[in-house]
Structures are given as C-alpha cells and as structure tokens.
C-alpha cells in the first residue's frame, strides 16, 4: 500500500522558517505533497494570500514565495517560479481591484486565474479509509497543483464570504493584502504592528494639534 501524501500535515511537521539565502532549491519529487483542494480549503486560501503578498520578479521574491510557505517550498522547483510569480501578480491584482472598488474587474481576474489553473479532481486511494481527493492535472507539477487549489479555494471564499473581505492594509507603505474575517468586516490593518504604527501616528498628530 503506497503512502499517500496529504496536505493535512500537522503544523509541527512543517519545516521551520528556512535559511532565506538557500532559495527554493530542487526537491526530490518523492517528497512532493499533493494538495487536497476540497478538504484543506482554509489552507489553500492562506496560500493564495501568501502568493499575492510575494513581491514579483526578483530573486529574493522567489525565495519569499517558497520560504514563506513551507509546504510549497517542499514541492516547488526553480522551473515553477515563473508560474508562481504570474499567479502571485494576478492574485494581487484581485485585491487591488477590490481596493479600488472595481469588483467586476476583480472577479474577471480571478476567473482568468481559474481558467489558467484548471482543477482536475479525482478520488485516489483504493481502500475506504484511504480515499481522498487530488486535484492533479495531468503533467502539472505539484507546485502548479498547489496554485490551482489555492485559486479554487480563493474563488470559493469570495463567493461564500463576499468580495468585501478582500483587503489591502491601509498603513501607508505597507501594501500587504489579507482577508478580513472579522464579524463587522472593518479590519484595516494586516497586522498588530501596522495598527500600532497607525495609532501612534494618529496620537502624535492629535497631540500636535492640541499643543499648537
């Protein structure tokens, strides 16, 4: 009975944040994990956001994509980087359109991504306890499969949760995108760090106004 790779690996087994200078590096295909788009959709949504936040183009960005997501790092090879970058740029466009209140354009870009990264779901496993879904497209690399699963998961998220949850951090110069999962959908910052910076600045400007 061959071992089937699952994405639902406990966090403890995830590779610790690796040496960024090491780059993606070739990984033996045997170690490749295949995504289960439908059972790990939360994780795939997070990957979509991670890809959107990877700066496009240069070498450190290439590392950022793969190092920032340990599981993708396991399966990505240098040959996958153009695809990862392109997907990342387009995913970022989705958030940018939403931020500029161009929801239709955002949906259009996400539809393009869906068309480009098609799922070919299939049930694998021969015994009842081992049956699970793969999204394998014939000939696609494991990294390409991750992207397909991530795009799909983000599309499901958009339809189920609403496009207004797609946010870009409002702290000037930050630009990190995130999904606002708060009840009131009014989250403005990517992180407590950006929120603190904004609050400190607001506080200082109030104080200046008072002392003037």
Asked whether position 194 contacts Zn ion by CB under 5 A, the answer is yes
Rounded distance between C-alpha atoms, residue 31 and residue 140, angstroms: 16
How do beta strands 177-179 and 166-168 pair?
Answer: antiparallel
Q: Which is nearer to Zn ion, 152 or 178 (CB)?
A: 178
Within the chain, strands assigned E span 122-124, 132-134, 166-168, 177-179
By beta-carbon proximity to Zn ion, the closer residue of 157 and 189 is 189
Closest CA to 171 of 200, 148, 142: 200
Show the site string, 129-168: x = touches Zn ion by CB under 5 A, - = not. Answer: ----------------------------------------
Chain centroid to Cα 93, Å, comes to 13
Stretch that binds Zn ion, among 18-26, 105-113, 182-190, 196-204 (CB under 5 A): 182-190
| 168 strand-pairing partners | 177
Per-residue burial over 98-125, b = 16 or more CB atoms within 10 Å of its CB, e = otherwise: bbeeeeeebbebbeebeeebebeeeeee
Q: Check residue 27 for interaction with Zn ion (CB under 5 A).
A: no
48 binding Zn ion? (CB under 5 A)? no
Judged by CB under 5 A, the number of residues near Zn ion is: 6
Contact flags string 161-180 toward Zn ion, x per CB under 5 A = --------x-x--x-x----
Cβ nearer to Zn ion, comparing 54 with 190: 190
Question: Rounded distance, CA 65 to CA 49, Å?
Answer: 11
Smaller CB distance to Zn ion: residue 76 or 94?
94
Contact flag: residue 32 with Zn ion (CB under 5 A): no
Interaction site with Zn ion (CB under 5 A): 169, 171, 174, 176, 190, 194
């Amino acid at each position: 009975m061959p071992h089937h790779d699952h994405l639902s690996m406990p966090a403890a087994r995830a590779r610790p944040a690796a040496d960024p200078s090491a780059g993606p590096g070739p990984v033996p295909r045997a170690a490749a994990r295949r995504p289960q788009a439908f059972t790990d959709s939360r994780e795939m949504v997070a990957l979509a956001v991670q890809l959107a936040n990877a700066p496009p183009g240069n070498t450190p960005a290439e590392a950022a994509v793969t190092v920032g997501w340990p599981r993708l790092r396991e399966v990505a090879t240098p040959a996958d980087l153009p695809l990862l970058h392109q997907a990342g740029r387009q995913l970022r466009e989705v958030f940018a359109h939403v931020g500029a209140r161009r929801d239709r354009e955002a949906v259009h870009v996400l539809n393009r991504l869906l068309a480009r990264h098609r799922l070919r779901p299939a049930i694998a496993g021969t015994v009842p306890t081992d049956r699970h879904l793969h999204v394998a497209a014939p000939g696609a690399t494991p990294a390409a499969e991750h992207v397909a699963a991530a795009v799909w998961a983000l599309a499901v998220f958009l339809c189920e949760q609403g496009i207004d949850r797609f946010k870009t951090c409002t702290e000037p110069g930050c630009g990190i995108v995130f999904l606002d999962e708060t009840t009131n959908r009014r989250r403005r910052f990517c992180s407590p760090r950006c929120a603190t910076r904004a609050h400190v600045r607001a506080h200082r400007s109030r104080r200046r106004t008072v002392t003037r």
